Amino acid sequence: MSARRRIIALFVSMAMALTLIPAIGASADAHGAIVINEIMQNPSAVSDSNGEWFELYNSTSNAIDIDGWTIADNDFDSHVINNGGPLLVPADGYLVLGNNSNSGTNGGVTVGYNYGASFFLANGADELVLTDGVSIEIDRVEWDNGVTFPDPNGASMSLSDPTLDNNVGANWCTAGTLFGAGDLGTPGATNDCSPPSPAVPVLIHEIQGTGATSPLVGVEVIVEGVVVGDFQDDVGSDGDLNGFFIQEEDVQADGDSLTSEGIFVFEGSDPLVDVAVGDLVEVTATVAEFSTSGGSSLETQLTNPVVVVTGSAPLPAATDVTLPFAATDAPEAFEGMLVRLPQSLTIVEYFNYDRFVEIVLAPDRLFQPTGVFAPGSAEAIALADLNARSVITLDDGLTVQNPEVTRHPNGDPFSLSNRFRGGDLVTDTVGVVSNTFGLYRIQPTDAANYTAVNDRPPAPQPVGGSLEVASFNVLNYFLTLDEGASRNTCGPDGTQGCRGADNAEEFDRQRAKILEALAGLDADVVGLIEMENSTGVSPLADIVAGLNDIFGAGSYDYIDTGTIGTDAIKVGFIYRPAAALPLGNFAILDSSVDPSFDDTKNRPVLAQSFLDRSGGGVVTVAVNHLKSKGSSCADVGDPTDPNGQGNCNGVRTDAAVALANWLASDPTNSGQSDILIVGDLNAYDKEDPITALTDASYTDLVAQFGGEFAYSFLFSGQLGYLDHALANDSLASQVTGTSVWQINADEPDLLDYDTSFKSDGQDAIFAEDAFRASDHDPVLVGLDLDADIASIFAALVDEVAGLKADGALNQGQANALTRHLESAQRQLDRGQSQSAIPIVNAFITQVNNFVGADILMADQGGSLTDKAEVLQRNL
């Protein structure tokens, strides 16, 4: 074949091939070909925000690309489809578009395109308008609140035939085919407009069955029951549960302990019939499973109900339920039923109390398994299982967040005069059992009996000793507000997010509480954790200024380190100069000192030696803040620990080993051996990081003085202590006591400084006191240190040498002071301590003379004479 013929043949072949490729429809082709065929605007098995969707049908024999098209209504909802490539409606096929593509949370729909929260399908009346990429309208449906269109709840509106006019309400029906989590519809398939099967009379326990899901999901049923819990929106409290609970009369109960006799009737926010507790009602409805928290909760409900009040009846007897349960899913047998908790149950968790008014109850306070037993041990595993079976959540019967009035377990509004603490008791809780958002919960129908048994401690337990050292996590104490232009200006490089107060009001509230807590702690040295670490910003100076306003000028001072490390937060020290004097310079442990200490995860450690002015002893204190359990360390090869120690356990353990090794090297050059480790180690006391330190001969002082069940922190309803005090062998015998001042972990965070999300009513429940100043409790240690004359001499010699090196003293002046110190040391070496006293006095006189002659500044002279006076008192 000639070249010319080959070229002609090639073009012919290409043309033939092109005719075989199905055309991706242009606008002209799509008009009338793409049909809005099915609309789920009001799901019942899941929330509207998770389960809305609609379906398009392509009546042509070619796939049509709708990428770049727009979905909108007649108001302000609009979304431009952006699939990152073609989005095809298949030939003679369907494409489902929805606000959630996760079939585990959207009711079981396979969504071909997720438009997210940028478009909504209103219940009642709304419009759905589809236009192509050049704004040509392709299709439109306007439904009318049930006047001519169906207005289903828990079922889709389905076009009877895609060839019919979809703007005529009579051409639509309510879907009758069950799919996914229990709603009705045919997403991605041919619509089914056949009439539903007639409702079947059943008993409630037949609906509930013996498992987690009903055997009758999707079936229309007729039930009769007594209203045992009225949570309709028409009772005057905005945000109720949008329905009511009914229960079989006692004479019709089946006696099977595995089948519930109660069920929730979901009506939505506009119920047609107002029911009351004690009404006997007949309900015709469809059985569904309402899914929340990604399917972790499935509550059997009656949806799309027709309710008829037929009379009244005595309430079924409340079923007594006791804890712990035999299994975590045991409350399923009481779902929807009226129950009573006759035990004196303990308030063990209140993290969600401000947002959702949830309180977790258990027979006793619960403790972190790895704070009591070795991680991975049979005992730890058994305790974790027992803890999980020991809890039930007491709710408030509302769905609204942060209500103006926050319900106390005793039924009255929570206030500063009607509050509770963790550990207080609740008895005879009565309500109905619901199963939502991952929890079995009691929706109360009456007030419980409340007893306060855990009074607020007005001060820490006395620890004795002549020097008191504390640690306190101050919960992101930032001077730079987390608002507006300053929001991402924190950290040493000024590019990190600020983590503290959002506005001036919050900061004032936070500062007042922190100062009250520190004043009540009344310690001589305090290691502070979670302070702003921004260049040119000194939260320590601010705290010291506040304390000096309380105690008087000069009462407290701080170690000025500047920024430490690269994180947005750091650790630091404040101290009372009348009681403790810094000895030498501070030292920092980071990865430059020991590569096994990962300072991209852990905050660098700060160590400082302090001289006890009253007793002459010296102690080196190291304040820590290791990486949290909730952070990820997968990027450094440290995945979640399988034995319950959380994330970053290896990073924390390596840091603990590095810490022990570093402190053994005397990083502050104090020349003495007494060491105290304090701070937030983010590890419970039986976990690997703490074991690494106790293996290095450190004593866990919180356990020694507080016992096995000491605590400073509450997480997931379980107590333990992340805030530690550990003494090395040299120091342990000089510790007179250790206590945790429980001002925070036992208090609901509704009382804290943070106004985020809180209603005005909740904001008003605030006091400028120490309680709920932070989420961690402070730890206090008493020390009765042995006098350390050698360290004081060494510190004075070093300080004089430093003043000479800095040019404050010349050679002769420095030599004069050093000779006094050397002479006093010789007297001590001979056992003549009394002879050394006048020599030390001469040293003090010489220093004061240098100050008077303006050779030394007052603070330089004061630092020398302060130490010399301590030395003098202890000779």
27-184 against 467-783: fold identical:
no
* Angle, in degrees to the nearest 10, between helices 649-664 and 688-695: 20
pLDDT at 22: 45
Instruction: Please state the pTM of the whole predicted model.
Output: 0.85
pLDDT at 569: 99
In the chain the first and final C-alpha atoms are separated, in Å, by 117
Lowest mean pLDDT among 110-119, 237-246, 451-460: 237-246
Instruction: Answer whether 703's CB lies under 8 Å from 710's CB.
Output: yes
Alpha-carbon distance of 12 to 31, in angstroms, equals 32
Question: With bands split at pLDDT 50, 70 and 90, how would you rate the model's confidence at 295?
Answer: low
pLDDT at 2: 38
What CATH superfamily is the domain 200-317? Nucleic acid-binding proteins (2.40.50.140)
Question: With bands split at pLDDT 50, 70 and 90, how would you rate the model's confidence at 291?
Answer: confident
Angle at 40 between CA 36 and CA 41, to 5 degrees: 105
Secondary structure element (H or E) that encloses residue 72, with its range = strand 70-72
* Choices 2.60.40.1260, 2.60.120.10, 2.60.40.10, 3.40.47.10: CATH for 27-184: 2.60.40.1260
Instruction: Answer whether 796's CB lies under 8 Å from 871's CB.
Output: yes
pLDDT at 180: 86
Q: Where are the domains of the chain?
A: 27-184, 200-317, 330-449, 467-783, 789-873
AA letter at 706 = G
Across 385-392, average pLDDT? 98
Task: Dump pLDDT digits (tens) for 480-503.
Answer: 999 887 789 999 999 999 999 999
Cis preceding-peptide flag for 324 (omega within 30 of 0): yes
User: Is a pLDDT exceeding 80 seen at residue 15?
Assistant: no
Q: Are strands 618-625 and 675-680 parallel, antiparallel or unpaired?
A: parallel
Q: What is the CATH number that goes with domain 330-449?
A: 2.40.50
More confident residue, 494 or 304: 494
Sequence-ordered strand ranges (E) for 437-492: 439-444, 449-451, 467-477
Give the closest residue to 549 by CA, choosing from 578, 586, 512. Answer: 512
- The owner of tokens 């990083």 is 667
Task: Dump pLDDT digits (tens) for 816-861.
Answer: 999 999 999 999 999 999 999 999 999 999 999 999 999 999 999 9
Alpha-carbon distance of 46 to 778, in angstroms, equals 44
pLDDT, mean over the chain? 93
Using only C-alpha atoms, the chain has a radius of gyration, in whole angstroms, of 36
For 317, the 3-state DSSP assignment is: coil
Region of 740 (left: φ > 0; alpha: ψ -120 to 50; beta: rest) is beta
Q: What is the CATH number that goes with domain 467-783?
A: 3.60.10.10
Structure tokens at 375: 């991680």
Burial (CB count within 10 angstroms: exposed 0-12, middle 13-18, buried 19+), residue 296: middle
Question: With bands split at pLDDT 50, 70 and 90, how would you rate the model's confidence at 524?
Answer: very high
Q: Are strands 439-444 and 392-394 parallel, antiparallel or unpaired?
A: parallel
Tell me the DSSP string of 93-134.
EEEEEES---TTTTTS---SEE-GGG----SSEEEEEEE-TT
More confident residue, 542 or 237: 542
Rounded percentage of the chain residues whose pLDDT exceeds 70: 96
Instruction: Answer whether 377's CB lies under 8 Å from 733's CB.
Output: no
Across 169-194, average pLDDT? 91
